[in-house]
Amino acid sequence: MPPPKVVSTERYFDACRFVCKHSIAFLEEGNGLVHLRGSGTLVTIDGEKFILTANHVWRTLRKKTKICISMIDRIIHKTEVYVAALEECSLSEVTSPDLLSADLTLLTINPIDHGRLDARLSFYGFLHEKRGQADLANDYVIIGAPGQVATYDPTDPTILNFEMRATPVGKIEEENHPDLGLDFVTVYPHTDQNSPLYEYYGLSGGGLWELSYVPDETAIEGFRYEPMFFGVNFLQQRKDGTKPWEKVRCLGRRAVQSLINKYRQQKKK
């Protein structure tokens, strides 16, 4: 992992832990096994609480009667949610995502379910931040539960050990598509020879976050971090099929705003 640009590693880890507390992993149980099915972000919009994820992740999950949602806060907990209790709003139906897929879904959570999630995690207040407030530097991370580092308990196949991981990003490329009402961000995860990750299955639906560092005399080390939700992971890419995956494709904030606008219009009907 690269060191943060101007802050201590511990403060960088603090920021990563903070954004991970808004993040979940989707689990599917069946035939005596547990499988990772993707990731998501807990968000609050207009006073309501949602899970924001990729549509292709939700397409797999919605076939079931109920799904398991991880609640990782140092210790792994989980809760079960009935699929019928989740109200879906999607930009489009995406079976197999490509570079320009509108691969976004917003799931409304009922009060009983979000109460259980609130007990362990927290919902991120979306749309209340402003970009470009950092006076020191910005870091970027992608959040999710990578299947590559998940392992089954050798004595019990119903137990799956995994982690919610913040993967640092070395470079980002932003592109707007006004004709589609979408924007995309291609990120290049930092490659570390000591990292076990060379593929990013399981991160789909998880968040891309910007970590800004702002001087603050009252804060530890003289600055505070301000996280901003920046996008949703949905596709990993590589040029050479024999080599590790090089980059992750994300839908950006314009795309998420398009989804929010669609939800608001549906709610008025």
The tens digit of pLDDT for each residue in 166-188 reads: 888 888 999 999 999 899 999 98
The answer, yes or no, to whether residue 47 has pLDDT greater than 80, is: yes
Cα–Cα dist 61/229, whole Å: 24
- Asked which of 12-16, 160-164, 252-256 is least confident by mean pLDDT, the reply is 160-164
pLDDT band at residue 74 using 50, 70 and 90 as cut-offs: very low
Cα–Cα dist 50/214, whole Å: 29
List the end-to-end C-alpha distance of the chain, in Å, as a whole number. Answer: 48
Closest to 113 in 3D by CA, of 202, 42, 45, 206: 42
Q: Where are the domains of the chain?
A: 9-268
**Torsion, CA 106, CA 107, CA 108, CA 114, rounded to 10:** -120
Cα–Cα dist 264/269, whole Å: 9
CATH architecture of 9-268: Beta Barrel (2.40)
In this prediction, residues 208-229 reach a mean pLDDT of 81
pLDDT of res. 58: 95
The answer, yes or no, to whether residue 191 has pLDDT greater than 50, is: yes
Q: Do residues 70 and 164 lie in contact, with contact meaning Cβ atoms separated by under 8 Å?
A: yes
Pick 121 or 248 by higher pLDDT: 248
Closest to 34 in 3D by CA, of 242, 206, 202, 179: 202
pLDDT of res. 75: 47
The answer, yes or no, to whether residue 133 has pLDDT greater than 50, is: yes
Burial 42-58 (b: 16+ CB within 10 A, else e): bbbbeeebbbbbbbbbb
Pick 133 or 170 by higher pLDDT: 170
pLDDT of res. 250: 95
In this prediction, residues 145-150 reach a mean pLDDT of 65
Mean pLDDT of the chain: 81
The answer, yes or no, to whether residue 1 has pLDDT greater than 50, is: no
pLDDT band at residue 80 using 50, 70 and 90 as cut-offs: confident
DSSP letter string, 7-54: S-HHHHHHHHHHHHTTEEEEEEEETTEEEEEEEEEEEEETTEEEEEE-
Q: Do residues 185 and 250 lie in contact, with contact meaning Cβ atoms separated by under 8 Å?
A: yes
pLDDT of res. 259: 95
Q: What type of residue sits at position 116?
A: R
Pick 163 or 247 by higher pLDDT: 247
Q: How many CB atoms lie within 10 A of CB 89?
A: 18
The answer, yes or no, to whether residue 132 has pLDDT greater than 60, is: no
Highest mean pLDDT among 40-44, 235-239, 243-247: 40-44
The answer, yes or no, to whether residue 196 has pLDDT greater than 70, is: no
State the residue for tokens 């943060």. Answer: 4
